[in-house]
């Protein structure tokens, strides 16, 4: 690895890891110089659709230029801390660094975890309360609106333009059971049960509420640990001056340009967190699955997952936090998982779970799916051009 990696080498590499098509990059460069080289995929699409303010475009381009310069000089030092089994996976490695730095920039505007959790739980409680009030109100008025509701529901979701010209029997055959007000009330009841279950789950295990995400330096430490697990990097340790602490400092410098920043507090916090334990368990399970030649491993995984869900349902039912209807939904879920376990246990084999296990005839029958990936990009360009044309006409 050289002392420094040329920015001109990294520029097309980052374009690939961000899944930016060369045609889109070229079109974006015509709209704004260098936009195709430096914008993220999300921002580039927004620019093409004319949904991004000029100040934001200019700021992000300059921000990513600075990031590229830092990555150019720091990549050799970062890579020296790893010993990957497949050292040619430079794109994946750089992609992870890019995601880390991007998430760190975004995370600076996030709320603290405790506040995120508190506000999420408050929103769940408010939604549940208001949905309960709406259900009571609908029960009172459903007799007055059920006919109109079904009529307008069908018009909106499945218009039947020739309904007045066909027989009554034909109309009954085309009746949609999901268009009734009664079905709406039942669906709202299920939605309220889900809100209650989510509240109960979050009170038992807050980390399972997926919207509670890292912020600030915690993002850097999380990515450092993930990268170490993936590419055989330094083991996480709270010892000052360790290779893991150096990795965190280098990632922080790559994201911010600030040098010699201490992340001891964030490392200590992460080292004791459930997130660290879960990441290590997930990686161990992944490696075991990759090396396991047991053709029934995928089936056993389904059974283990179903058992875990049943245990969670059992715990939530016994928590005393749920009403009868919500507990009934959990029982239904447990019964479904029980059926899955029984079906999996009766499955015959051997199963073919890897491409290497397929015969030449089977491989020959596998045809790549022809997906027009450029269709959506063409629509974005058309939409953006239309918006820009309207703006030009209005300015005349």
Q: What angle do CA 88, 89, 90 make, to 5 degrees?
A: 95
Q: What is the pLDDT of residue 170?
A: 47
d(CA 350, CA 340): 19
Q: What is the pLDDT of residue 171?
A: 47
Q: What is the pLDDT of residue 372?
A: 62
Q: What is the pLDDT of residue 164?
A: 46
Closest residue by Cα to residue 81 from 249, 212, 239, 307: 249
Question: How would you label 324-348 residue by residue, b for 16+ Cβ within 10 Å and e otherwise?
Answer: eebbebbeebbeebeebbeebeeee
Provide long-range contacts, Cβ within 8 A and 24+ apart, for 27-36: 27/381, 31/384, 32/57, 32/61, 34/61, 34/65, 35/61
DSSP 165: G
Residue with tokens 């360790």: 242
d(CA 343, CA 208): 28
- Are 191 and 127 contacting, i.e. CB atoms less than 8 angstroms apart? no
Q: What is the pLDDT of residue 368?
A: 61
Helices 374-395 and 22-31 pack at an angle, to 10 degrees, of 10
Entry field: residues in the chain: 396
Q: What is the pLDDT of residue 168?
A: 47
List C-alpha distances in Å: 191 to 145, 157, 180, 188, 208.
21, 20, 17, 5, 19
Q: What is the pLDDT of residue 55?
A: 93
pLDDT in tens, the chain (396 residues): 556 788 888 888 999 989 899 999 999 999 999 999 999 999 999 999 999 999 999 999 999 999 999 999 999 999 999 987 766 788 889 999 999 999 898 887 776 777 878 888 899 999 999 999 999 999 999 999 999 998 888 888 875 555 444 444 544 555 577 788 999 999 999 999 999 999 898 887 777 776 656 678 889 999 999 999 999 999 999 888 899 999 999 999 999 998 877 789 999 989 988 888 888 888 887 777 666 666 677 788 889 899 999 999 999 999 998 999 999 999 999 999 999 999 888 877 666 666 666 777 777 777 665 556 678 888 899 999 999 998 888 877
pTM strictly above 0.75: no
- Are 16 and 91 contacting, i.e. CB atoms less than 8 angstroms apart? yes
Tokens linked to 327 = 């507990």
Q: What angle do CA 13, 16, 17 make, to 5 degrees?
A: 90
Tokens linked to 11 = 């520029």
């Amino acid at each position: 690895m050289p002392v420094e990696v040329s920015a001109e080498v990294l520029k097309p590499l980052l374009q690939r890891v961000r899944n930016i098509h060369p045609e889109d990059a070229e079109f974006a460069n015509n709209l704004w110089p260098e936009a195709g080289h430096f914008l993220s995929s999300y921002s580039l699409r927004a620019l093409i659709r004319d949904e991004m303010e000029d100040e934001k475009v200019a700021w992000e381009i300059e921000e990513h230029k600075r990031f590229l310069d830092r990555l150019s000089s720091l990549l050799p030092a970062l890579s020296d801390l790893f010993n990957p089994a497949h050292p040619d996976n430079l794109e994946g490695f750089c992609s992870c660094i890019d995601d880390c730095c991007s998430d760190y920039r975004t995370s600076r505007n996030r709320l603290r975890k405790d506040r995120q959790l508190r506000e999420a739980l408050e929103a769940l409680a408010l939604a549940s309360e208001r949905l309960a009030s709406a259900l009571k109100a609908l029960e009172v008025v459903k007799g007055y609106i059920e006919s109109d509701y079904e009529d307008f529901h069908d018009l909106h979701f499945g218009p039947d333009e020739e309904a007045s010209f066909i027989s009554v029997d034909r109309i009954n055959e085309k009746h949609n059971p999901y268009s009734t007000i009664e079905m709406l009330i039942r669906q709202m009841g299920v939605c309220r049960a889900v809100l209650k279950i989510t509240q109960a789950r979050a009170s038992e295990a807050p980390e399972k509420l997926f919207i509670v995400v890292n912020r600030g330096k915690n993002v850097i430490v999380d990515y450092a640990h993930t990268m170490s697990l993936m590419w055989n990097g330094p083991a996480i340790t709270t010892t000052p001056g360790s290779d893991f602490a150096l990795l965190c400092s280098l990632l922080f410098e790559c994201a911010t340009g600030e040098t010699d920043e201490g992340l001891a507090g964030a490392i200590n916090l992460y080292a004791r967190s459930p997130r660290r334990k879960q990441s290590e368990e997930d990686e161990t399970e992944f490696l075991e699955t990759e090396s396991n030649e047991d053709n029934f491993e995928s089936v056993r995984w389904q059974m283990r997952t179903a058992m875990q869900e049943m245990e969670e349902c059992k715990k939530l039912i016994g928590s005393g936090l749920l009403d009868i209807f919500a507990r009934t939904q959990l029982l239904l879920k447990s019964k479904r998982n029980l059926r899955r376990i029984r079906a999996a246990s009766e499955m015959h084999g051997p199963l073919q779970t890897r491409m290497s296990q397929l015969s030449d005839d089977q491989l020959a029958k596998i045809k790549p799916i022809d997906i027009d990936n450029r269709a959506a990009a063409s629509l974005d360009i058309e939409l953006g051009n239309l918006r820009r044309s309207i703006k030009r006409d209005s300015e005349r």
